Amino acid sequence: MRGFILINLSKEHITAGNQFNRWLVPPAALAVHLSIGMAYGFSVFWKPLGNALTGPDGKPVAACAAGASTFADKLAGTAKALTATDCNWTQFDLGWMYTLFFVLLGCSAAIWGGWLERAGPRKAGLVAMLCWCGGLLISALGIHQHQLWMMWLGSGVIGGIGLGLGYISPVSTLIKWFPDRRGMATGLAIMGFGGGAMIGSPLATKLMAMFATPTDPGVWQTFVVLALIYAVFMTCGSLGYRVPAANWKPAGWTPPDVQHNRLVATRHVHLKNAHKTPQFWLLWLILCMNVSAAIGIIGAAAPMLQETFGGVLIGQPQLGFAEIKADEALTATAAAVGAGFVGLISLFNIFGRIGWATSSDKLGRRTTYFIFFVLGIMMYVCGTYAANHHQLALFLLVFCVIASMYGGGFATIPAYLADLFGTQFVGAIHGRLLTAWSTAGILGPVIVNYMHDVRLEAHVPYADIYAPIFMTLAALLGVGFTANLLVRPVADKYFMSDSELAAEQQSGKKPADNAVSLVNADTPTPAILVKLAWLAVLIPISYGIWMTVQKAWSLFA
């Protein structure tokens, strides 16, 4: 039995027969991505964790960084918070989790992308499950013992490695199963990563409310429950991964005519050569600029809306944000509207992933990114006008479109890579390209937060703070536009020969045995299994959409 389980995880032994239904793979990928996507929703824990320790009077004790006024002081406070058990954590202390998440995601995807291609998506998915869910359990222990370093290690480092492996685990497989719909296939999976927080955040809020006591916010118990739920989903999703046979094609599908579309390769570039091509670095720059131009604004969406429009949000246009901030009741009302704006952006981020990626199958990847950059620049110009003239509806429209293209950029880039470099190593190449995301995750927020704070210190009115920021982000999109314009087909010298490809496809394969024949039996996939798999992911997605729509409705109520 042990031998069967180990063989079952190997790439060569999960090759599907001709009667396997490829539509079973997207919900498997969604199950994994919806689980790890909760990384976006971790901010729901910041307030409860910041008030976790209380004194004899029932009030929260002082933070470890109490009184810190400079960046250096805040860093010193965080250093103290890592091991202190007698003071509370600040949002600054906890916010480093996001940095760890996305830096480790990009680094782990780059480092272990090649291993994933050799080991197969099923083994990589299960390792991702162990890292992500194990990291949550370590974090739960850290919260229980009030040890911040354990949270950083558990969810930030170990969980971040799980994020990277889980994120890229289905990409290569989906592209190979859907050569006719590459954008749609990757869009479906990556939509799940954007939607994970949409489901996980309200669920975590309900769990914390259920476990909370007067002296315990219920966070560590919530982490344990989430770890168990995600372990089930990610295990089922990973075991649902199957790979097609070499050179498999959908029935009736004809590969694209490269005479008319030279940006779609019919051969394959080896992983070791991909980074030697100018195309790889142009796509790296394209992804980095597209993400940098949006991620900082999306991360500051709620305060940006409140600072820019002030009393307009609460039906008192004569009030500025400074007046609202001085009134606790008005602040709470404006914050609720800001939360609705975040929910609206989340919806467009999610649907942009599937919408833009699917449309790229018809438009082409370079044309789709051309739209992202040109339309994005126009949106930032319109956003400046809307902010200066207090046009709330236009402002909302602008940033919903920007959020959709932010998500669409993530979902379209794997198909762009497959078009240029072929599909043999696209998962590993995509993993290396995700270092652009790690870079953008630092660059974008630094630009936005630095310019915001500098202008605030210069006593610029709140409503006028963001206009130059929008223009700076538009300039980043201009850099991405230029890079996209320079993309050309990969030179012939970088592609593998037919003999090299055949040797690569045969490398590491093991002789067949009885256990393998049980796994690869060419029997039709039961239709009920496909329906159940889709139901298993569509039900939580529907729940998340409903909860998000309710929150977003506060913008119009």
DSSP 245: P
- pLDDT (0 to 100) of residue 91: 76
Largest Cα separation within the chain, whole Å, is 78
C-beta separation of 158 from 131 below 8 A: yes
Tokens of 436: 């652009």
Token match 């976790």: residue? 52
Residue 272: what residue type? K
Question: Each residue of 475-496: b (16+ CB within 10 Å) or e?
Answer: ebbbbbbebbeebeebeeebbb
* Mean pLDDT (whole number) for 55-60: 81
- pLDDT (0 to 100) of residue 136: 97
* Mean pLDDT (whole number) for 412-437: 92
* Mean pLDDT (whole number) for 234-243: 93
Q: Which of 230, 79, 60 is nearest to 149 (CA)?
A: 79
Euclidean distance between CA atoms 156 and 158, whole angstroms? 6
Distances (CA, A) of 236 to 118, 427, 467, 536: 21, 21, 47, 10
Tokens of 15: 């090759």
Euclidean distance between CA atoms 388 and 291, whole angstroms? 25
In this predicted model, what pLDDT tens digit does every residue of 526-553 receive, in sequence order? 889 999 999 999 999 999 888 888 877 7
- pLDDT (0 to 100) of residue 8: 62
C-beta separation of 284 from 439 below 8 A: no
The alpha-helical segments, DSSP class H, found in 169-218 are: 171-177, 182-211
pLDDT at residue 380 is higher than 50 = yes
Beta bridge partners of 63: 88
- Local structure of 60: helix, strand or coil: strand
Q: Which of 203, 193, 231 is nearest to 40 (CA)?
A: 193
Judged by average pLDDT, the poorest of 11-25, 104-118, 163-177 is: 11-25
Contacts for 135-144: CB closer than 8 Å, 24+ residues apart: 135/159, 135/160, 135/162, 136/223, 136/224, 136/226, 136/227, 136/230, 137/223, 137/224, 137/227, 139/223, 140/220, 140/221, 140/223, 140/224, 140/227, 141/220, 143/49, 143/52, 143/219, 143/220, 143/223, 144/220
In this predicted model, what pLDDT tens digit does every residue of 97-143 receive, in sequence order? 888 888 899 899 999 988 988 888 999 999 999 999 999 999 999 99
Tokens of 251: 């029935």
What phi and psi, each to the nearest 5 degrees, are found at residue 15?
-70, 125
C-beta separation of 409 from 292 below 8 A: no
Q: Angle at the Cα of 9 (from 4 to 12), degrees rounded to 5?
A: 100
Burial of 393 (0-12, 13-18, 19+ CB in 10 A): exposed
Euclidean distance between CA atoms 487 and 285, whole angstroms? 11
Better pLDDT: 264 or 21:
21
Euclidean distance between CA atoms 241 and 123, whole angstroms? 9
- CB count within 10 Å of CB 385 equals 15
Q: Angle at the Cα of 512 (from 507 to 515), degrees rounded to 5?
A: 125
Euclidean distance between CA atoms 79 and 251, whole angstroms? 59
Euclidean distance between CA atoms 287 and 440, whole angstroms? 8
Give the pLDDT band of residue 256 (cuts 50, 70, 90).
low
DSSP 155: I
